[in-house]
Structures are given as structure tokens and as C-alpha cells.
Chains A and B, each alone.
Chain A
């Protein structure tokens, strides 16, 4: 089968080295084993870039930085390395040194980046008018909602409003939700932990 191996051009027209180059392929001879915690992605890249030639970029995202964050799905709390360039989350990297998840993700967490990529995200405040959704400004939405809530509070009392808070926000935000209900004057507040 070796006869079928293609010997490609060594440089592209722009002079950039291409992966197919057998010399370049030498880099991947280095032992790469995804499952060894001893070898993190970062450690690998450090060892490999030493051998890379100077004009080859180390990464497609030369200006990027890594932000440590936590998956927003389940309570295992898997670590995520978010690679960010120019304010854009360009790539989800593997947090292989996280002590609990060690880089692991289920299908949801592996696609965590989709939370900011999904085309199904709500784009602006909306209200339903004559059975149709209408875009409105934040000012209008907040003014209308809050005055209606205050009107209901005035007319029926503070317990006429029920607040469903969240297990999907930060601890600080959850705390503020509970505090808000207290200041509003009701114990009609609950969240997913109940069920």
C-alpha cells in the first residue's frame, strides 16, 4: 500500500507549509495519547512547537486567550476551556486538567459553545399582541412588566405574584432572586430543586 502514498508538494503557493508534507507529519510521531492525564493539550503543544519551524503559526487563533469556565448543564461541574479571540468564543478546548471532569464531557457539554452560537436564542424583548409576537424595546418591556406587577400587588396583594427562580443561574443570582421575593413581600418563590 505504501506505493499509493502521495508525495505532495512541499509548500503551497503562498509558501505556507502544509500538513501533508512528510516532514511536517513528523510532528505527529510524538506520542499523543488523549487519555493520559499526564499529557495535557498544553504540554503537548509546548513540546511540539519547539520542533515546528518558525514561520508556521502555532495555532489558527494566534491572538486567542483561554478562559476557564464551567459547563452549564448538570451538577458534575465539568471544566471548560473557552478559547476567545477578539471577543468571540472561537473554540471549545479540552480542560484535561480539571480535577473532576478531566476534560470529559457528555454530548451536551461537548457542545457548550452552542449556547452562544445557537440561532434559536431570543434576540430582543417581545410581547404578544393580538396573538402575534412583537419586538419591543427593553425600556418598554421593563416599564410595562413592572407597572403591571405593581398594579397587581396594589390590587390583590403581594402574594398574587408567583416567582419561579432558577437552578441555572449563579449562586449570587439565585440569592438575589430569593431576596427579591422577600423585598416584594411574598414567599411565593420556588425553583427546580423542588421537583
Chain B
């Protein structure tokens, strides 16, 4: 999130695309409904499904799954064509506008209507609504990202906000409501196969930086790897690691995967789950570290699996980063229950047995505080320098002193600071940055320009040259240079450079323009591409997907070869999945809570009354949902107008059943969750984002038949 939940109280318009905040982030709704009530802010919800959030909307736009980029580009085109865009913002802080304009021109209201199903008039009306209600905020979640063009979708949403001049202002911003409680923290720490903590990447420079922070020799670290090549090559992802075992798509690694460790991670949240199950049966070792046995344990049918009981997070402590980049200290409530151990303890036991404990814990005597300090020392890129354990605790201890509208402390021990020191928190004294890219405040007081990450000048394919730095006169108050400037040399590895920059009123990472044309992406300006499994074969030719991508996080990922126009004949319905408020993620925690299980006891498929009647289905009937890849699940019918007559919806947080078979007997005695059901991810189709390899769960086809 560029802004924060409370900041939505200042929004004059809230635009949701691919988010069901009413179910996924109910507590954030108090701020959203405040904007609706007090600011008279239109609440626009763009979604294939009339969600609980849509019920609170002033304007609901039903869109065909997988066509978000087309819709967003349609809005952008309207803003440009009608000159409703923020000309001054674009002139001073945006790059690649000409290139954007050219691509956007294709997305006329009529073209958008054809692709998305949204009436042309609505496209114009929504664009005008957004242009006349500023600042407005744009919110999205996995409904926007989990597509084969997910990264284009998110960029189109960002460009929309740039055109509206809604970036860097209170009430504006691109606000991505993230999922898990600490998904922001874990992302910042880059528990990711393509980067070291702090988004440093995997280059030799990145490794050398972290080796220095850890106090280990780079050469020793290199010797731990198969080779330097593998040290710098992104690994398998959560979405497709199982291909490293079953190898149905070609893998690019010297060895198959033989062992997997699930450490606080569900398996049912991964698509193509029936393939993943094959991998579980083939592995030599599966280790599950979790407070609950998890569905994964019940899915393993070989003697290759161990369960280690870790504590819940209330039995340990540490910092957590909420969606709005703010750190809170999650204090320990009680000692570990049963014979469980904290994750820290388990990790220490692993490290000890692996024989590198002295090197691993070189700077760490007290856990977790010394770890927080090590993170602060190493994570300069996103400005975690000021995230010291004492400061984070002080904020949590004094959360009552922060103002609800600004999240700034009024008096008290945290006076002037923003709650949770939202990063970048450049120095030990920095108050945190509540709103990213806000040039109305000095950098030392939480202001920030756009980052100069891609040089100072670029020549587009057309031959046009553009200065990528911000225009003259655009900078934070107190900046030594009142205009654009490049990044400070060495700021990512030397904290003294950061301090020097902030002292001079400048952002260590420079002051640039935001790019509408990203030359390092397959589509420099986002364009629509039909889902791999599209219900509109006529559009595939016009908007084809990408060529196949070999060696995509060590696995061959099919795009073009998977896009089959004839598929829709056999699989006529579009399948989308999503959250229910009662359950979360793989659901192992929530389905083990008797009250939540009582509220949402079983998995179901939402089906439009028209489809139900055409198939002769009644409420409560059981159906088989089948995917083109041979996955099938047996679920109950729920007849509802939430979905249209081409789409079915299934909540994804269930597990414990597998293609009609109950796995209940496979749980340890007495530990079967109160609610079990078929994982929707068995039938979620093949398909992954070209850039991030996120799975495409919100597009794809299926067929149903009475069970």
C-alpha cells in the first residue's frame, strides 16, 4: 500500500478492482465506509462477482474474468481522450506518456465492451466519475494479480492513478490490501526465490552485501551452492515447486527436488493441486512445521512425512508488518502450549544440526531483538534502518497516542512519528513514511519523491528521448536540488549515504518520474491478452498470450502452446475462486476453530439460477466440477445471483477431501479439522504470470455435472 487504511478516510472516491475487502479485510471497511458516508465518496467495485463488498458499493461493474487490463486501459484512454487527466502531474512526474497514449488509444469504449462485457457507456461514466472525484484511491487484491497478465493488470492500475494525479496524496494512492498478517514483512524479507532480503536480488553484489551483514566470507557462502550460476539463478516458486518433483513440464536444474519443507505454509493454496499431490507421493521427505497438522499431512500417504508442532504466534514474539508497511510488535501472550516449540527454537535446532550455527548466529545473541537489529543493518533499500526493536515496541506500547486520521502521534513518547514507522524509515530518528511519493513533506518528515531506479534518460523505440528525472521545481520541501536528481551512489549498501541524503533534504534513491512504459517488462505498456483458457476463442487471435517461457524459475512454463481456442466447447464455464470471511488461506487454522467451522462448514460452488436450471440443479445438490487438466471436485450447489450465467465461484480455503475421497482418516487421531472439503485448487486451471509466476486462479474454464 502506498497509503494506509486510515488514510482512506480522506478519499473522495474508492475504486476496488479484484478485491473483496468486506470478506478479506472487514476491519478496513470501517475507514472505507467512513469515506462513503462522510465524503460522499462513490465506492466503485469492479468484479466478476457481486461480492459482499459490491453490496456496499455505489457503483458495481461486472467484468469478465481476466479482462482487467482492457478495462483499466479503457478508463485511461477516456481520461486522455477527454483531457480529464492531471496534466501538471503528468508533465512533471510521469514518463512514457506518449507511448502510453498510443497503446491506450486502441481501448475505445466499444472495444472495451467487447472484451470485458462492460457497456461502453459505463466505461465513459466511470472514467468521468474518477476524474471528478479526486483524490481517489485504487484498491486491489488477488483478483487483479492472479492472472497470466497479473503484472500488466497491476501496472495498468498504477498508470490509472498516475493519470489522475492521485499518487503521493492523502486520500489517493494504490492500496493493495495484502493477505496474511505478515505477508508484507515476509515479502520485505524476501522469503522469495528471486531475491535476498530487502529486494536486493541475487547478483554477486547482493550476495556480497548480505555476506558482509552476516559477517561471513563470500567465498564460503559460494561454496555452499552447487555453483555461482545457481547462487544467482532464481529458484522454484511456491506456485510450481512440485514440477521440480514430477517434471511434467521440463525443469532447468541439475537435480529433481527430493525433499520439501512446509514451514507455516499450506499446500492447498496452490493451483493444480492434484499434481502437487503426485509430488507429495513421490518425495523422499516431507517436513511440515505448523501449529496444526494441516491438510498437507493428510494428503501424504507414504511414510515420508514428519510433523513438527510449532507454536502459534501468540506463544512467541517479534515484529509484524501490516499491509500499510507499518511494524507492530506482537508480544508473547502465553508460553508454548503442549509440546510445541517456537519457530525460532526449531530453526536453531536445524541450524545446529546443519553445522553452521556459529556463522549463522554470529551477530545474534538475543532472539528476536538481535535479528531485528541485523535486519535494520542490512535492509537499506526500503529504509528499515530505523526499525529498531525498542522503537517498534514503543509504538505498540503507545498505540493509543496516534491520531486516527493521520496515524501521527500527538504528544507522548512517539510525538510526531507515524504509527508503526511505515517504511522507508530512513534513520533511527525518522518518523516513518505514511504516504509514499508525497512531495508535500520534507524527506526527513515522511515525504518522498518517485524513485530513480532506471537511469536518467531513455530512448524509446520510436526514437523519442525522455529525461526520466522529475521536472524542474518538483521536489520535497528543503531539498538541496529543487527538481529531479539521480540516486545517491552507494545508498543501498552504506547507511552513511542515506543519512547524508536525508540531511540534505533529499531521497537517497533520487527523484524521478514514474514510468508508464516499462522496457524491462514483456509488454512495456500493459495490453490485454486473453486468458490461456478463454471462453472467447474469437478474441484469442486478436489478443494472444505470450510465447512459452523456458527456464521460468527453473521450469518450462507454457503460454502459447497452452492457449487452446477449442477448449471452451468442452469446458463452457469460467471458474473463479476466492475468500470467505470465515476462513483464511489453506484454512488449516480457521477450519480448526469450531465456531468458524460452524459458520462456514463446507465448500460449495456458486451457480447462477439460469445455469442451475439449464443443468437441472437444485440448491444443495452435489456436482462434479472438472478442469481441463483432469482435476475434479465434488461440491455442493449454491444457487445465487452473485455470479453471472457464465461463471462459477468456489471458495478456496478447504482441504481434507481429494477428488471425491475423504482424507479424514489420514489425519493424526482426533485432529481432523471441524470442517473439511475439496480444495478448489484441484480444478483451478494451468496458467501463471509471465513475470512473477503467480498462479492464474481467477480465470480458466471448467465444466459441471450432477454427482
Contacts and interface: CB of A to CB of B under 8 A. Distances in A.
Direct contact between the two chains A and B in their complex (CB within 8 A) = yes
Interface of A: 37, 40, 67-79, 82, 84, 87-89, 95, 97-102, 104-109, 111-112, 114-116, 118-131, 133, 138, 141-150, 152, 156-180, 182-195
Given A87-B335, A168-B585, A194-B193, 18 more contacts: A69-B330, A70-B396, A75-B182, A77-B320, A99-B407, A100-B419, A109-B27, A122-B671, A127-B305, A127-B306, A130-B303, A149-B287, A164-B260, A170-B317, A173-B344, A175-B375, A187-B193, A195-B238
B24 A74 contact: yes
A102 B29 CA distance: 12
B270 interface: yes
- Nearest first, the 6 A-B pairs at minimum CB distance are A170-B318, A166-B264, A77-B322, A187-B235, A185-B224, A171-B185
Output the residue of A111, A123, A143 with the most chain B CB within 10 A: A123
Contact of A172 (B258, B375, B670): B375
Contacts of B374: 175
Contacts of A190: 191-193, 235-239, 241
Interface string B594-634: 11100100000000000000000000000000000000000
Contacts of A152: 258-259, 284-285
28 contacts: A67-B331, A68-B399, A88-B334, A89-B333, A99-B6, A99-B399, A102-B404, A107-B595, A111-B596, A122-B290, A122-B671, A125-B309, A131-B303, A150-B354, A156-B255, A162-B259, A163-B263, A165-B265, A166-B263, A167-B264, A170-B319, A174-B185, A179-B214, A183-B221, A185-B231, A186-B230, A195-B270, A195-B694
A68 B397 contact: yes
Interface stretch (B103-111, B345-353, B435-443, B458-466): B345-353
Contacts of A156: 255-256, 258
B210 A194 contact: no
A97 B328 CA distance: 15
A191 B225 CA distance: 21
Contact of A72 (B314, B321, B670): B314
A159 B693 CA distance: 19
Given A76-B25, A105-B27, A178 B191 contact: yes
Nearest to B190: A178
A144 B181 CA distance: 32
B26 interface: yes
A116 to B, nearest CB: 6
Contacts of B27: 76, 78, 100-101, 104-106, 109
A156 B322 CA distance: 39
Contacts of A122: 290-293, 307, 309, 338, 340, 668, 671
Contacts of B371: 172, 175-176
B353 A166 contact: no
A128 B333 CA distance: 32
A159 to B, nearest CB: 6
B38 interface: no
Contacts of B189: 171, 174-175, 177-178
Nearest to A121: B291
A193 B339 contact: no
B181 A70 contact: yes
A40 B399 CA distance: 13
Contacts of B259: 148-149, 152, 160-162
A192 B291 contact: no
A172 B367 contact: yes
A157 B255 CA distance: 7
B581 interface: yes
B464 to A, nearest CB: 36
Contacts of A87: 334-335
Contacts of B403: 99
Nearest to B6: A100
Interface in B489-543: none
Contacts of A146: 349-350, 353-354
B235 A186 contact: yes
A87 B317 CA distance: 15
Interface string B308-334: 110011111111111100111111111
Nearest to B232: A187
B525 to A, nearest CB: 25
